[in-house]
Structure 1
Amino acid sequence: MTPFDGPAGAGAAVGVDLAKLRATVTVCRGCCCGTARKHPEVDHDEQLRRLTAAVGDIGQIRVVKGCLGQCERSNVMVVTPSTLGRLFGGRPIWLGRILDQELLTAVAEWINSAGPGLAPMPDVLRRVVFAPLGPIEPTATD
């Protein structure tokens, strides 16, 4: 059960913008994240399909086709709390080296549990958290 379970349209019936209740996963697919050049052993398209399917309507997936400037830690994902999650102290969490199914599943489970500020980070993700270096200005998004 998630915080989003309930009668269909319940949020809309009371004037709640359900998009504000969804955490976001930003997936870098720029210069080296998501490319076979750097990680030929990873099926990046399949990884994105699995994440999108696992998150469903609970969260949002944002694909950055530019570069987030954290190439030494590719594949990079940023888990951003929902508006409600921010009210409870959640902040964007940068994750690096998301290259296997265990880590991808943990990201999806965290989003399905409401994400930063509302649900604890899965322990397996703690080893891949990092603080970004330099200004972050993606050049293009999907």
Structure 2
Amino acid sequence: MSRPSPAREVPEAAASRPSPGGEVPEAAASQPSPGGATPDAAAPKTAAPAAPCRIVVCRDCCCGSPKVTGVDHAAQAARLRTGAPVRVSTCLDVCDQANVVVVQPSAAGRAAGGRPVWLGLVNDPGATEDILTWVRAGGPGLAPPPEILGLYAFTPPRRRPAALREGS
């Protein structure tokens, strides 16, 4: 009796598991599923899409309020959502920079050394479009920002607990 080859000794359940890259091994792709159907051989085998950049918009006491005139805050957030997930935050404690937008890198951008970029005074549609252009190109760590965004970028102050701010 000859011993079966190692490839045939893999249990059926293990053979049909996706690899770490998200692909199903070739042998499993042609096996019938438990319901009896054979997977379509022409179906693409792709990994899950990478997480995109994320955008945080401050919308509290100053940002996103009537204190910043001439800006359609809801339209700005909606426009940013066309390029990346947007999270609305309470006050980020940089009211002198209203409207504040923080562009957070994607997982790939973070792995490449990208860090969150804080943008202040984002009060015109042109700045919003520049942010979208950058995010769609990959954002922090993956694509250089349009030069004009350098005028909006700032380093936020270190955040201190409220008890320390009140006591100083």
Q: How does 1:1-142 map to 2 (within 5 A)?
A: 13-14=46-47, 16=48, 18=49, 20-36=50-66, 38-53=67-82, 55=83, 59-64=84-89, 66-135=90-159
Post-superposition, which runs of at least 4 consecutive aligned residues in structure 1 deviate over 4 A? none
Q: Is the 8 A contact 1:68 1:136 kept in 2?
A: no
**Structure 1 residue 40: deviation in Å?**
2.2
User: Within 1, Cα distance between the matches of 2:144 and 2:51?
Assistant: 16
Query: Aligned AA for 1:100?
Result: D
Say which SS state the counterpart of residue 46 (structure 1) adopts: helix
Q: 1:50-73: per-residue Cα shift (whole Å, max 9, x none)? A: 2223x1xxx221111x11001000
What is the RMSD computed on CA atoms of the aligned residues? 2.0
User: Within 2, Cα distance between the matches of 1:31 and 1:87?
Assistant: 34
What is the aligned length?
119
Q: 1:33-57: per-residue Cα shift (whole Å, max 9, x none)? A: 0101x1121111111122223x1xx
**Structure 1 residue 21: deviation in Å?**
2.9
Gaps of 5+ in 2: 1-42, 162-168
**Structure 1 residue 110: deviation in Å?**
0.7
Gaps of 5+ in 1: 1-8, 138-142
TM-score (norm 2): 0.65
Q: Is the 8 A contact 1:32 1:71 kept in 2?
A: yes
Q: 1:76-128: per-residue Cα shift (whole Å, max 9, x none)? A: 01111011101111111000000001100000111111100011111110011
User: Within 2, Cα distance between the matches of 1:60 and 1:45?
Assistant: 15
- Bigger Rg, which one: 2
- Seen in structure 2, the aligned counterparts of structure 1 residues 63 and 136 have a Cα distance that, compared at 3 Å, is farther
TM-score (norm 1): 0.77
Greater RCO, 1 or 2 (C-alpha within 8 Å, sep 6+): 1
